Structure 1
Amino acid sequence: MLLTINIGNTNILCGIWQDQSLARTERFPVSDISRLDTFFASPSQIEAVLVGAVNPHAAQDVLDAASRALNCPILAAGRDFEVPVRNRTRFPDRVGIDRLLNALAAYHRTRKPCVIIDIGTAVTIDAVNGAGEFLGGAIMPGLAGALSTLHSTTALLPHIDPARDRDIPVLGRDTEGAMSSGVFWGIVGAVEKISEMLRREAPGAVTFLTGGDAERFAPHLGGIDHTVAALALEGLRLAYLAR
């Protein structure tokens, strides 16, 4: 079995692979790292731990916890094994490993150009061409980040828990409702428009939706071909096998 761990800014996504199947996944906050213990319950069955991270502090905590609990290789993508995707951005070393893992997994599924939307703490919308090369894309705040910025950069706008309302009407009837509407539907509109524009850069692209907030936004987004919550975990497994 392979234990794959994708560490974001807010959440950790873990998955156990048995051969080519993802047998179990769990997402939890980076502040609740003790929940990793349930994945360490059968240490003799784990062949390797594969970690992809955009949060260096949390990544070190995870690597340390895995080292204490397991007697197997504990490998970080980008440090111990490469992500085999040609990166055609201006500064390849600055691209988040999660974006490359998503690109690898999406292209492996389709062998066609791809647009990949990852909605979490940040929203990334990226393009992959027909040769599987990562072209770049767009980055914008996610739901929690945008709401937090409105609160922290203004005198009177309140703090809002992004999980407060699952159904957000466009017409906000109070300040909190207007903030939630502007941010939520603003993300929907921006994602749809940017995706449309990126598909012109990668004609015939297949569009993927992933990330911690993917399921929440999926019903409201047009043009999505596949919603895959654990796309980065697929990328970790593929990158490890290709080393």
Structure 2
Amino acid sequence: MNLIIDIGNTCVKLACFNDEKIVECIRVDKNEAKDGLLAFSAKYSFDKGICSTVAGLSDDFLSAIDSLPFGVIRLVSGETPVPIENHYATPFTLGSDRLAAVVGANYLRPDCNILVIDVGTCITFDFISSAGIYEGGNISLGPTMRFLALHEHTAKLPLVERKGCVKSLGNTTEVAIRSGVVQGIRYEIEGYVRAFLEKYPDLFVYLTGGVHLNLHFSEKMPIFANDFIVPIGLNRILEYNNEIV
């Protein structure tokens, strides 16, 4: 069995894979990451693991990884071998989560042109071709940052919660802010998809990420939700490194 450790900006995701099948996937708060890791790793008979992070690792967490009774490799963009061709001009600066996402997407649909949209702290748009070539992507503000920016860079706009009423036209300031952010994200995503469809009519789109919004897309949009694209990609990278060794 494989242990997958995916450390994001706000939480840690732990997953157990039996070959290619997801057995369990959980989220833990960063301040509970060490205890969560040790408890999760004791639950299964893991043979190997992989760790991906977009944030710094505490000494306690590093020591917890080192104490595990099996090897855990670290995904480092530009260094760790991956089963795709990476055309990013600065591969060492590419977020390991973005890299894992396109690997996972390509693994699930190897003969497709795929746009992976990850909605989290940031919103990322990453494209991998049907030839297995990662062409690059874009980074945009995530929902939380948008709400904070509206509050912190104005004199009177309140800080609004993400969950709540969303309308086509807000009839209160709170609803106007929430609707503007949520609807703006939806239009942004649809705009990217339309632009890519013009160039790649057979485009397949994966929507993933830790932030869930009530986004209602047109049925004509080839958008499919998959919460496990990054863990699937990390598991594939782990197995790939095992194969080449």
Alignment deviations for residues 43-80 of structure 1 (CA, whole Å, 9 cap, x no partner): 6x11122111111246x654332223x21112111278
Structure 2, unmatched stretches of 5+, are: none
Q: Is the counterpart of residue 151 in structure 1 residue 151 in structure 2? A: yes
Q: Partners of 1:88 and 1:198 in 2: how far apart?
A: 18
Aligned ranges for residues 126-137 of structure 1 at < 5 Å? 126-137=126-137
Match for 1:205: what amino acid? L
Equivalent residues of 1:127, 1:198 under 8 A apart: no
Structural RMSD (CA):
2.2
Aligned ranges for residues 107-126 of structure 1 at < 5 Å? 107-111=106-110, 112-126=112-126
Match for 2:76: what amino acid? G
Deviates more, 1:117-126 or 1:27-36: 27-36
Number of the residue aligned with 1:30: 30
Match for 1:147: what amino acid? F
Give 1:206 shift: 1.2
Of 224, 228, 245, the residue aligned with 1:230 is 228
Change (3 A) 1:188 1:231: same
Q: Partners of 2:37 and 2:214 in 1: how far apart?
A: 27
Equivalent residues of 2:161, 2:178 under 8 A apart: no
Equivalent residues of 1:137, 1:198 under 8 A apart: no
Number of the residue aligned with 1:212: 210
Give 1:181 shift: 0.8
Q: Name the SS for the 1:41 alignment partner.
A: helix
Q: Tell me the percent identity.
A: 26
Aligned ranges for residues 141-180 of structure 1 at < 5 Å? 141-162=141-162, 164-165=163-164, 167-180=165-178
Structure 1, unmatched stretches of 5+, are: none
Give 1:221 shift: 6.1
Q: Partners of 1:61 and 1:233 in 2: how far apart?
A: 23
Q: Is the counterpart of residue 74 in structure 1 residue 72 in structure 2? A: yes
Q: Name the SS for the 2:85 alignment partner.
A: coil
Q: Is the counterpart of residue 21 in structure 1 residue 24 in structure 2? A: no
Q: Name the SS for the 2:182 alignment partner.
A: helix
Equivalent residues of 2:206, 2:224 under 8 A apart: yes
Give the helix-richer structure, 1 or 2. Answer: 1
User: TM-score if structure 1 supplies the norm length?
Assistant: 0.88
Change (3 A) 1:228 1:153: same
User: TM-score if structure 2 supplies the norm length?
Assistant: 0.87
Number of the residue aligned with 1:96: 95
Q: Partners of 1:145 and 1:61 in 2: how far apart?
A: 29
Number of the residue aligned with 1:47: 47
Number of the residue aligned with 1:138: 138
Change (3 A) 1:229 1:242: same
Count residues in correspondence.
237
Q: Name the SS for the 1:16 alignment partner.
A: strand
Q: Partners of 2:137 and 2:234 in 1: how far apart?
A: 21
Change (3 A) 1:51 1:221: farther
Q: Partners of 2:214 and 2:124 in 1: how far apart?
A: 14
Q: Name the SS for the 1:82 alignment partner.
A: coil
Give 1:200 shift: 3.6
